[in-house]
Amino acid sequence: MSQLLIHGGRPLHGEVTIQGAKNSVLPILAATLLTAGQVEVRNCPRLRDVDASVRILRALGCEARWEGARLLVDTAGLNGCAISDILMREMRSSAIFLGAILARCGQAEMSYPGGCELGPRPIDLHLTGLRELGAEIDDSGGLLHCRAARLRGRELVLSLPSVGATENLMLAACGAEGVTTICNAAREPEIEDLQNFLNACGGKVSGAGTSTVTVEGGRQFHGCAYTVMPDRIAAATYLCAVASAGGEGFLRGAREQHLSTVTAVLREAGCDIRGTETGIACACQGRPKAVRPVRTAPYPGFPTDAQAVLMAALLRGRGTTVFEENIFENRYRHVDELTRMGADIRVAGRVAVVTGTETLHGAAVRCTDLRGGAALCVAALAAEGKTHISETGHIDRGYQDIVGDLRALGAEITRT
């Protein structure tokens, strides 16, 4: 298993181009099953989770190959509707294939998905919505046996604005008769990106970005070329890296409208942030300031995926900052590793209290999950001395080249 070695304690200066969005491309890859043709996915990040999706597509009989930063997918040869337990356990987002396979094949078989251990993340909302569309689902014995001779559009009301459930039901609704309306839908930008992809393939979907998404089913889908939106969480990570180490950086391709809650907090912490048509510029001098309580919430609230990296950026903050995690139960698994570097953090349930310390020091730490691993990198950039970060496979699930990106921003980082 590779390790990252970071020499911290020096300001950053540089420019990085933001990769395609992990949380956008995964449902788009599942959606290619609706086309029965060739799709060119541009700005597709090379991630462990993308590789897992490619393996699922190939196991179903589809073709997928890389050409530079483009992934070419041809689903005309689809010859299966079952996904093995081994493939399902590789990532949480594998559940998104359920709606697409049902829409294309009328049946599907898979186990429950895996992914980072962030606490219970049931797919009950996915299954309830699919049943309301007409699917018969037997989930006994840890396997999902699904059949849907005919899906029928109707109004679906989600009890929570779940991103995964919204996406899964959008895909299934594309294969249903009539119109499906998803109420209390998730509003994340990645939902809008999925809508744009479906429409580029001949679908008729509207309302993404609002709490009501409408899908007209039964349309003929075709292949297309589509460019994935930039990854807002990767952008948030690198903004927090500059805030942590100090200095300045430019994030080419980043869209501030997708990051307004994050940039607002960083401005409060003393960073100078400017959004432009081509990206986001960030400059931070000296230690950051503590900020008002940060509470994670569904979009457009503060993203749970940015909580860990912001916490890392404020470890040297002047004063005390309170974090409240309202999405996942186990989102503070990185805290013990940060304390090895001298951080002062107290956790009680969903609340973490960060008291800024003047100096952090390098240490041997390990990644606990995807965003927690990124947080260790952010903290290491501000720490005096060397930080060894192990179990970096978690980071590779969501960052195409975190070493190259941080080097582009001026960090001294190597993979060993």
Active site members? 116
Is there a contact between 387 and 380 (Cβ–Cβ < 8 Å)?
A: yes
* Distance between CA atoms of residues 230 and 251, nearest Å: 10
**7 contacts: CB under 8 Å, gap ≥ 6:** 362, 385, 386, 412, 413
Among 62, 135, 128, 59, CA closest to 90: 59
* Distance between CA atoms of residues 405 and 76, nearest Å: 36
Q: Helical H runs in 246-332?
A: 260-268, 307-313
Report phi then psi at 237, rounded to 5: -60, -45
Task: Report the relative pairing of strands 225-227 and 38-42 from DSSP bridges.
Answer: parallel
Tokens representing 20 are: 């395609």
Instruction: State the burial class of residue 257 (Cβ atoms within 10 Å of its Cβ: 0-12, 13-18, 19+).
Output: exposed
Among 367, 413, 412, CA closest to 392: 367
Among 5, 50, 6, 15, CA closest to 405: 15
